[in-house]
Amino acid sequence: MADAVALEGRSAGLLRIRRPRHLTWALWIPGGVLILLVGACFIGPQIVHIPGPNVVNLSLPHVGLGTPGHLLGTDELGRDLLSRSLYGGQTSFEVGLASVAIGLAIGGLLGLVSGFMGGWVDSVIMRVLDILLAFPSLILALTVATYLGPSERNVIFAIAFFTVPSYARVARSGTLQFKEREFLLAGELSGAGRTHQIFRHVLPNIWGRLMTYGLLTIGVAMIVEASLSFLGLGIRPPQASWGAMIAEGKGYLTIAPQISLVPGAFLFVAITSLNMLGDGIRARYSGGEAW
Amino acid sequence: MSAVAQRPEVAAPLLELRGVSKEFHVPGHRTPLSAVSDVSFSVHDGETLGLVGESGCGKSTTARVIIQAPKPTRGQILLRGVDLASLRGSALRRARRQVQMVFQDPYSSLDPRWKVRDLVAEPLRVNRIGTRAEQVKRVDELLHLVGLNPKQYGDRRPRNLSGGQAQRVGIARALALSPSLVICDEAVSSLDVSIRAQILNLLEDLRTELGLTYLFIAHDLTVVKHVSDWVGVMYLGRLSEYGRSEAIYRSPAHPYTASLLAAVSEMPEADRPEVDEIPSPFNPPSGCRYRTRCPYAQAKCAEEVPELREVAENHRVACHFPLIAH
Amino acid sequence: MVTSTEGGIVSTINSVAMEHSLIVERLSVSFKSGAGDVHAVNDVSLRVTPGKTLGIVGESGSGKSVTVRAVMGLLGHSATVTGSACLDGEELVGMPEDQLRRRRGIKMAMVFQDPMSSLNPTMRIGSQVAEAVRQHRKVGRREAWSEAVALLRSVRVPDPERRARDYPHQLSGGMRQRVMIAMALSARPSVLFADEPTTALDVTTQAQILTLLDDLKQRYGMGVVLITHDLGIAARHTDDLAVMYAGRVVESAPTKTLIGAIRMPYTQALMDAIPRIDAPSHSPLASIEGSPPDPSKPILGCAFAPRCPRVGDRCTTTPLLAEGEPGHRWACWYPLGVDA
């Protein structure tokens, strides 16, 4: 039982009581909603019989919610909105996850190296990233997406590209914090090389905070994807994505608001859950990370 | 000018510092911070040198400079006659393996995510010493050596250890590469009195058992007394007194050493100002750096830097008016 | 959750309130944890006299800091506090948080081990002390500042007018601790708790800070509670002593009496573990082998028995803290220097 011992001793100026380890509702609720949502998007269409996302039925344009066979209605071409929302969700989640994974890998590595090496390496890397960071992120993504042309893969690259600097900053500040700790000096004394120090000591210690930040930015990435698609620079029709669907419905907001509102609601639930989950995890981590 | 504190014996010292200085450039200050200034001393095999002084006197910087993290601004650091400051890359890494360090805060010197077993094995693994099985065996030996049962503690992480246990792990780790010199940088300062006694006894047992040589850095003269053969007293980056431990404790020659001793003895000191502070290391006093706090300071002390000179056999002091006649 | 004390104890306390500023009676603290309750403090009784220093001595985990934090009401909701702590006749255990907070500033103050973490690095120390002054009294900024300078002078900060404009990082550790003491003094508390105030400081500075505390308690007639793991320090700078082990007081007496005739083997072991300046080089220290018991596990008998050189048959039953000689209490079946 280390907790009670930790109450005294050490350089503790204030009393430290560690947070309980068990998951709290702040993690369960958004986590559960996300699992449901991801499950519905990726597995749902396989087990429940719904029309394909691109099946056009011009005889049934923009029918409302609750229509038999089209639970969430249809769009202007008579395509099933439930089906399109689920398939569109696949695209949105894919873009969110993939762009964050790529951004995290590149940015995290740059930040680690930059913080660990210091000196001119640090200066060069951080100055270049600062320049990137100075551009408004959406405009940056817009530029890249325009240059690469609209497609799911290019949207992922565009979003990953503009998130690299922020991941690098998070990784670098974590690295700097641990660089002061004597265990790195102890490692150096025992002959450990830089690669060992970075990947065996620094990375595991900042992993938690990188992951938390990553989780929080999945939501941002999904919003950017939606924005790009809304502007016609993201997912190319007829492929569905929440942002593209919202864009498609914008001309029919007065006569068939569900075309935009249904994917909008999905997006809202997904982003809110992601943010809540990220905040919950961060709150828990900030208790344990200090050790 | 450096006065090399050499001993009459012919045996080459294990570690020798010759005129070592370290300056830091701190943003916002025009003059560099002189953390260590012209320090020379030597440490011989099997003997312990205690380095004492108040915080900010440069004793910890001296330790860091010895292990070349950071490198000294000037001077030589000879480990078995080889100047560490001249080595780079893998040659430095190899040479430095002979010097290991035990730190003040055991929790800070152990990676919180690693298990005790892996922490102790790390030096063996990164240097590819022995097979996997041999490493496991060696780790068990090392843990036994520092008084920890590998079965009970091997799989714990640092946060599940008490301060004393964590410091034992730090010591086991430092011993893994069979170093010739172990630098203990305030290694017992943050421990409770009872645990401190345990760790001090452990360090002494290891010294006799393994023939270790220590550079023992501490601010507490009583602790240093227990472990040291030689003592160096540092003040504001300079070595003010150096010699055999008994001589220094019996008859301190430098007024600063005398005041440090008075502070730890039960006797209150009459002529000591109630509040005195170390002057800024950015702008140390001219001449003798202690003169601003010294009750015996005279005009000469402001004008001339006192050299470290012999006042008795194996006893050197940097003072114009030492407390013992020579 | 807090259980308040029975009326009987309170009334007896009020009758002796003149003599003692703080009376802690049978205070116990336990923490909830997954593995069962952790009993950090058991049945601790203490008395603090105005103008005197009570030393609480013990190893890490002995419960000395938890005791003081329980008295100050700093433990939060995870702790269950029972028993009584009476400050100038007012019961603190069970007192609502807002009232406690007011008492914390005015009647009791605390100085911690690490002054740097308690000071705001971006504020001049004079402003921080002045802010502390303004928390207790409605005075103007200018008046608060001059009060702050006066406080800094009273804790012997040299050249206080100039130093008040310094930031914490410009001060040495000893000076920062003086600033903390000045802030603690701003409301003239009746009790000042000092939790290892000198552990992070140099030996020379330690002596200065402790001498300052000695001086201040007499000047302001304030009771001081000095928490330390070093019996040597406590012996020199306290009037009364309570030695704690595993959450209990195991020996207590006026300092002179206790140091003159240590009864509890644990106290003796703490004394012997202190390095001596007159010991020859490489002489071994008397250390207490083993480590204190795990507070989450029930302790049967005397908690010190597994580490005790004088352990005997009776140690399987818990010895009670009882007055063995006038004013001298110990909890041991086989006390030193007393024939059983």
Separation in Å, CA of B232 to nearest CA in chain A:
24
Q: What is the pLDDT of residue C117?
A: 78
Contact residues on chain B for C281, CB-CB shorter than 8 A: 225-229, 245-246
Using alpha carbons, select from A53, A98, A103 the residue that is nearest to residue A240: A53
Taking only residues 17 to 36 of chain A, the set having a beta carbon closer than 8 angstroms to any beta carbon of chain C reads 17, 20-21
Distance CA A113, CA A195 (A): 9
> Lowest mean pLDDT: which of A123-127, A273-277, B65-69, C263-267?
A273-277
Burial annotation A36-64 (CB, 10 A radius, 16+ → b, else e): ebbebbeebbeeeebbebeeeeeebbbbe
How many contacts, defined by CB atoms under 8 Å, are there between B and C?
A: 110
Distance CA B100, CA B120 (A): 13
Q: What is the pLDDT of residue C11?
A: 41
**Could you say which of C202, C204, C287 has the minimum Cβ distance to residue B197?**
C287
CA of A184: which chain B residue's CA is closest? B109
- In the predicted structure, residue A215 carries a pLDDT above the cut 60: yes
Most B-contacting residue of C65, C264, C266, C277 (CB-CB within 10 A), to test interface:
C277
Partner chains of A (3+ C-beta pairs under 8 Å): B, C
**Could you say which of A6, A189, A196 has the minimum Cβ distance to residue B101?**
A189
Q: How many CB atoms lie within 10 A of CB B132?
A: 10
**Could you say which of B265, B275, B278 has the minimum Cβ distance to residue C277?**
B265
CA of A291: which chain B residue's CA is closest? B112
Rounded mean pLDDT, A113-139:
86
pTM: 0.82
Q: Is residue C284 part of a domain?
A: no
Q: What is the pLDDT of residue C45?
A: 94
User: What is the domain extent for residue C200?
Assistant: 7-57+66-246
Q: What is the pLDDT of residue C150?
A: 93
Distance CA B293, CA B54 (A): 13
Pairing of strands C322-325, C223-228: unpaired
- In the predicted structure, residue B207 carries a pLDDT above the cut 50: yes
**B179-204 tens-digit pLDDT:** 999 999 999 988 888 889 999 999 99
CA of C67: which chain A residue's CA is closest? A8
Q: What is the pLDDT of residue A289?
A: 39
Higher pLDDT, C192 or C98: C192
Q: What is the pLDDT of residue B66?
A: 94
Q: Check CB contact under 8 Å for A1 and C33.
A: yes
Helix residue ranges, H only, chain B:
59-66, 89-96, 116-126, 132-145, 150-153, 163-175, 193-210, 221-227, 245-250, 255-264, 299-303
CA of C199: which chain B residue's CA is closest? B190
Q: Is residue B171 part of a domain?
A: no
Whole-number Cα distances in Å, A91 to A47, A139, A155, A163, C30:
19, 22, 11, 19, 53
Which residue has tokens 């009784």? C45
Burial annotation C152-184 (CB, 10 A radius, 16+ → b, else e): bbbbbbeebeebbeeebeebbbbbbbbbbbbbb
Q: What is the pLDDT of residue C66?
A: 93
**Could you say which of A2, A182, A190 has the minimum Cβ distance to residue B108?**
A182
Q: What is the dihedral of CA B82, B88, B94, B97, to 10 degrees?
A: 80
How would you write C132-170 as a 3-class SS string?
Answer: HHHHHCCCCHHHHHHHHHHHHHHCCCCCHHHHCCCCHHH
Whole-number Cα distances in Å, C120 to B264, C102, C108, C126:
32, 21, 21, 11
- In the predicted structure, residue B289 carries a pLDDT above the cut 60: yes
Q: What CATH code is carried by the domain that includes residue C141?
A: 3.40.50.300
Q: What is the pLDDT of residue C17?
A: 45
Q: For chain A, what percent of residues have pLDDT higher than 90?
A: 13
- In the predicted structure, residue C47 carries a pLDDT above the cut 90: yes
> Lowest mean pLDDT: which of A2-6, B60-64, B110-114, C145-149?
A2-6
Partner chains of C (3+ C-beta pairs under 8 Å): A, B
Burial annotation C307-317 (CB, 10 A radius, 16+ → b, else e): bbeebeeebee
Instruction: Reduce the DSSP state of residue C244 to 3 states and report it.
Output: strand
Q: How confident is the model at residue C288 (pLDDT cuts 50, 70, 90)?
A: confident
Q: Is residue C26 part of a domain?
A: yes
Number of domains composing chain C: 1
Rounded mean pLDDT, C136-165:
90
Number of domains composing chain B: 1
Separation in Å, CA of C294 to nearest CA in chain A:
7
- In the predicted structure, residue B271 carries a pLDDT above the cut 70: no
**C75-109 tens-digit pLDDT:** 878 889 999 999 998 899 988 888 888 888 788 99
**A43-84 tens-digit pLDDT:** 887 787 777 777 777 777 777 777 777 777 777 777 888 888
**A77-107 tens-digit pLDDT:** 778 888 888 888 888 888 899 999 999 999 9
Distance CA B214, CA B100 (A): 10
Distance CA A220, CA C77 (A): 37
**Could you say which of B113, B162, B174 has the minimum Cβ distance to residue A205?**
B113
CA of B250: which chain C residue's CA is closest? C278
Rounded mean pLDDT, B122-143:
93
**Could you say which of C60, C69, C75 has the minimum Cβ distance to residue A9?**
C60
> Lowest mean pLDDT: which of B3-17, C216-230, C321-335?
B3-17
What does DSSP assign to residue C254? E
Separation in Å, CA of A18 to nearest CA in chain B:
12
Contact residues on chain B for C232, CB-CB shorter than 8 A: 193
Q: Is residue C314 part of a domain?
A: no
Which top CATH class is A26-52+80-288? Answer: mainly alpha
Burial annotation B174-191 (CB, 10 A radius, 16+ → b, else e): bbbbebbbbbbbbbbbbb
- The tokens for A170 are 């998070």
Rounded mean pLDDT, A172-179:
89
User: What is the domain extent for residue B223?
Assistant: 1-98+183-190+210-326
Contact residues on chain A for C117, CB-CB shorter than 8 A: 13-14
Helix residue ranges, H only, A190-257:
194-196, 203-230, 242-249
CA of A179: which chain B residue's CA is closest? B108
Q: How confident is the model at residue C35 (pLDDT cuts 50, 70, 90)?
A: low
- Count the alpha carbons within 13 Å of A77 in the hemisphere toward its beta carbon: 11
Residue A12 at interface with chain C, using a CB cutoff of 8 Å: yes
Rounded mean pLDDT, B157-166:
90
Separation in Å, CA of A24 to nearest CA in chain C:
15
> Lowest mean pLDDT: which of A232-236, B308-312, C278-282?
A232-236
Mean per-residue pLDDT over chain A, rounded: 79
How many contacts, defined by CB atoms under 8 Å, are there between A and B?
A: 75
Q: Check CB contact under 8 Å for B165 and C291.
A: yes
Residue A19 at interface with chain B, using a CB cutoff of 8 Å: no
Instruction: Reduce the DSSP state of residue C278 to 3 states and report it.
Output: coil
**Could you say which of B54, B228, B245 has the minimum Cβ distance to residue C204?**
B54
Q: Check CB contact under 8 Å for C38 and A1.
A: yes
Partner chains of B (3+ C-beta pairs under 8 Å): A, C
Residue B166 at interface with chain A, using a CB cutoff of 8 Å: no
Q: Residues in chain C, how many?
A: 340
Contact C209, C224 (CB under 8 A): no
CA of B94: which chain A residue's CA is closest? A191
Contact residues on chain B for A189, CB-CB shorter than 8 A: 67, 96-97, 99-101
Q: What is the pLDDT of residue C16?
A: 47
Distance CA B101, CA B112 (A): 18
Instruction: Show me where the domains of chain A are located.
Output: 26-52+80-288
> Lowest mean pLDDT: which of A209-213, A229-233, B187-191, B215-219?
A229-233
Residue B190 at interface with chain A, using a CB cutoff of 8 Å: yes
Using alpha carbons, select from B65, B97, B122, B120 the residue that is nearest to residue A197: B122
Which residues are CB-neighbours of A235 under 8 A, at least 6 positions away? A91, A150, A151, A152, A155, A225, A229, A241, A243, A244
Rounded mean pLDDT, C42-65:
92
Separation in Å, CA of C258 to nearest CA in chain B:
18
Neighbouring-strand partners of residue C250: none
Neighbouring-strand partners of residue B34: B23
Determine whether B134 is exposed, middle or buried from the number of CB atoms within 10 Å of its CB (0-12, 13-18, 19+).
exposed
Distance CA A31, CA A272 (A): 11
Mean per-residue pLDDT over chain B, rounded: 88
Contact residues on chain A for B127, CB-CB shorter than 8 A: 190-191
Q: Check CB contact under 8 Å for A11 and C60.
A: no
Q: What CATH code is carried by the domain that includes residue B269?
A: 3.40.50.300
Distance CA C340, CA C336 (A): 10
Rounded mean pLDDT, B148-156:
93
Higher pLDDT, C138 or A100: A100
**Could you say which of B67, B110, B162 has the minimum Cβ distance to residue A189?**
B67
CA of C296: which chain A residue's CA is closest? A1
**Could you say which of A11, A183, A192 has the minimum Cβ distance to residue B110?**
A183
Q: For chain B, what percent of residues have pLDDT higher than 70?
A: 93
Contact A247, A67 (CB under 8 A): no
Helix residue ranges, H only, chain A:
2-7, 25-42, 44-47, 81-117, 119-134, 137-148, 152-179, 182-189, 194-196, 203-230, 242-249, 258-288
Contact C248, C299 (CB under 8 A): no
- In the predicted structure, residue A13 carries a pLDDT above the cut 70: no
How many contacts, defined by CB atoms under 8 Å, are there between A and C?
A: 56
Which residue has tokens 């540092």? B234
Higher pLDDT, B265 or A222: A222
- Count the alpha carbons within 13 Å of A270 in the hemisphere toward its beta carbon: 32
